[in-house]
Structure 1
Amino acid sequence: MLLLRFCLFCAIVLTLAPLIAFIDARTAAFQAIALHLAALSALLAVPLLIYRRRLWAIAGMLAALWNIALAWPSIAANVTAAFADQPKGRALKVISFNLSYDNPGFGKTVDFLAKSGADVIGLSEVTPEAKAALGKLKEIYPHSIDCIGQDRFCELMLLSKKPLRYSFAGKIGPKLTYIASADLDWQGSAVSVAVAHIVLPFVKPDWEPLQTWIAADDPSPLLPKTPVLWQSMQMAVLAGYARSLGRDQIVMGDFNSAPWSDVQTAFRAATWLDNRGPLVPTWPAQLPPPLRVPIDSVFVGGGLSLRDVHAGPDLGSDHLPVIAEIGSKRVIAEAE
């Protein structure tokens, strides 16, 4: 019984930790495990209720409800997406995948991507060795943009079956924020596609190694109601860049945050992008799905909508690839 109460106490502390982000912004990172904390709190509350530890049981259920309320916008959007009318016509298939610097080999990744049927692939944590291995995909994906090897901090790559226009890969602003992006033609109109990789949520902007990499006067943009973290500032830079792209756009990558987090909520509010659809737990790949966190996302905006989103297989990375089929809302409008 003592163990149950201790575990519930820890779950409640982690649930409330983001509320003190004004003291230490890194506590906001625990928002990512809201669903895990909800399930754990509810499960612990049941035996405590059976053993008549009512106050503890009530505390556990309140903690569960608090976490569910935090994630509810994403859960509701997931349910809505599941029952919504799906766009007609051919979907644009994209894959977003963090290869991982520690990936022991790239053979499985290359084989998977070659057989995936994706139109566009966004990759992060691409090393020069990984780029060389991905060269085998040139016949299938003749169009690409990256800055691997050109900048020590750039590890992004965009591959496409379709010709790319206005392609760019590199630094887009302060706080070492990078992007690989381009426009492509789809269903008679231009679609802007970009891949990004946002830093972990535990890094404060005054982190000492960061000061050795960037200038002391590097600006620190911040979106409203976001914790003062390096991650939040990169998301603010990314939001500004997204607003410079065409209205129909896809922004994918490893965002190191959950869809219900403060940074993603603010990012959606600052752009016309949305990713609140099917939740896809992607990290860590080696754990079963209920224990993973959905930190890899595909955002779409303008006349685009997510038709289907799911995780791919384990390819040796600590992340699973995200596979998304994207439809055009205009097709439904024209059909109606």
Structure 2
Amino acid sequence: MQQQKPEMRRSLTRAGISLIGWCGLLGALTVCLMGLSTFVAPDFWLADNMSFFLTQYLMAALAGVIGGLLGLFVSHRFKLLYRFFWLLSLAAFAALVAQTSSRTQTNTISPTALADGRQPLKIISINIEHLFLGDEVLTTFLEREKADIVVMQEVLWWLQERRWERLGLPIGSTGQNGFPEHLQIGELGGLAVYSRFPIVKAETKVIQGKLPAGANVYYDADRELLSLTLDTGGPPLQLVVIHPDSPRTEPRWQNKRDYLDELDKVIERLRNENSGQILAIGDWNSSPWSGRFQETLSTNDLATAYPGGWPRNTRFFFDYRLHQILGAPVDQFGASSDLQIVDVTLGPDIGSDHLPLIVELGLVEPAAD
């Protein structure tokens, strides 16, 4: 019996490694197929939503392929079948890496510094998830950043007003606490823009959404699209603030696509009327790998960039400390070709379930007299 124990341990070790290998290969194939579906079937709700988690799928698939590689060093009952599945999972992983990398580079440019010593225009976009605009963490962040334009989504302006009134504070806080002096609120109160530059023109377009079955009384399917013309001292900046519906059900996914269809029309009209300097920014509720997001950029000749060159999670679930794992990159921007992208970074946790997106741009120089 004592002589059999080492052999039994070796047998159990081989069986454990074999099990890890098979689980790794099957898991890698599963997540790769889920990830690849977003490229194969971008016009289907579930496949399009797979694009939110491509970073997680890539990491899981890599772990599965490595686990499968360990299994090649032990004997298997179905040796040839195991090798076939390992090669298949490796090929699926390589295809997912290639597709994700290609989509990441589509309509993407590298930020470049301003060559003439000019200061870039700084825009901060935050989905504040109903956070009070007078919150100390938020105002401290804004005071430090000194942004020229602050764009906010999920504001619930009527609730903000009540909070300011209850605290006996000036409504809006324009020109103080890090907020620039010019303010524009969307018609539905969900979007707000603070600007250092005068707002020459403002227009809110309300996109009526379809109410999904079983929606609770707090859900509002209607969304607004806010477009502003800002006087920057040179050619005007056309700012479009975005926040479509979250595509967590198929009807809401369709609401988002209807919203983006209207966005394309608004940008086309702005381009025809004003010719350039268009910035579309906000919580797109779309990942950079979504075919529909890239379609809007391509159709309107807009470019984007990412912090460090790769999309980072801006929306997180449960806890900020888990945002690298349990999150998705949904806060985006698109800039017309006459806007120079100088830098793109993310801000810290400010109490919302989104991180601030910080974009620095170079504007067209005013014409010489």
CA distance in 1, matches of 2:135, 2:29: 43
Gap regions ≥5 residues in structure 1:
208-227
Say yes or no: does 1:259 pair with 2:288.
Answer: yes
Residue 100 of structure 1 is matched in structure 2 by 129
Q: Which amino acid aligns with 1:91?
A: P
* Residues 320, 237 of structure 1: alpha-carbon distance in 2 compared, 3 angstrom cutoff: same
Aligned residues of 1:183 and 1:193 also touching (Cα < 8 A): yes
- Greater gyration radius: 2
Residue 41 of structure 1 is matched in structure 2 by 61
CA distance in 2, matches of 1:203, 1:270: 26
* Residues 58, 270 of structure 1: alpha-carbon distance in 2 compared, 3 angstrom cutoff: same
Structure 1 residues 227-238: aligned runs within 5 Å: 229-238=254-263
Structure 1 residues 143-222: aligned runs within 5 Å: 143-147=182-186, 151=188, 154-171=189-206, 173-175=207-209, 176-186=222-232, 188-205=234-251
* Residues 302, 86 of structure 1: alpha-carbon distance in 2 compared, 3 angstrom cutoff: same
**Superposed displacement of residue 290, structure 1:** 5.8
CA distance in 1, matches of 2:30, 2:294: 26
Q: Which amino acid aligns with 1:99?
A: I
Residue 239 of structure 1 is matched in structure 2 by 264
Give a deviation string over 1:140-181, Cα, whole Å, max 9, x none.
42211113xx53xx400111111111122341x453341222
Identity %: 20
Q: TM-score, normalised by structure 1?
A: 0.79
Q: Which amino acid aligns with 2:234?
A: G
287-296 vs 44-53, which deviates more? Answer: 287-296
Aligned length: 303
* Residues 124, 249 of structure 1: alpha-carbon distance in 2 compared, 3 angstrom cutoff: same
**Superposed displacement of residue 239, structure 1:** 1.1
Residue 17 of structure 2 is matched in structure 1 by none
Give a deviation string over 1:179-235, Cα, whole Å, max 9, x none.
222111335211111211011223334x6xxxxxxxxxxxxxxxxxxxx72222211
Q: Which amino acid aligns with 2:278?
A: Q
CA distance in 2, matches of 1:188, 1:167: 18
* Residues 59, 303 of structure 1: alpha-carbon distance in 2 compared, 3 angstrom cutoff: same
Residue 282 of structure 1 is matched in structure 2 by 314
Aligned residues of 2:122 and 2:360 also touching (Cα < 8 A): yes
Say yes or no: does 1:135 pair with 2:172.
Answer: yes
CA distance in 1, matches of 2:67, 2:230: 56
Give a deviation string over 1:68-121, Cα, whole Å, max 9, x none.
233224544699515x56554221100010001478983322332233211011
Residue 125 of structure 1 is matched in structure 2 by 154
Q: Which amino acid aligns with 2:269?
A: S
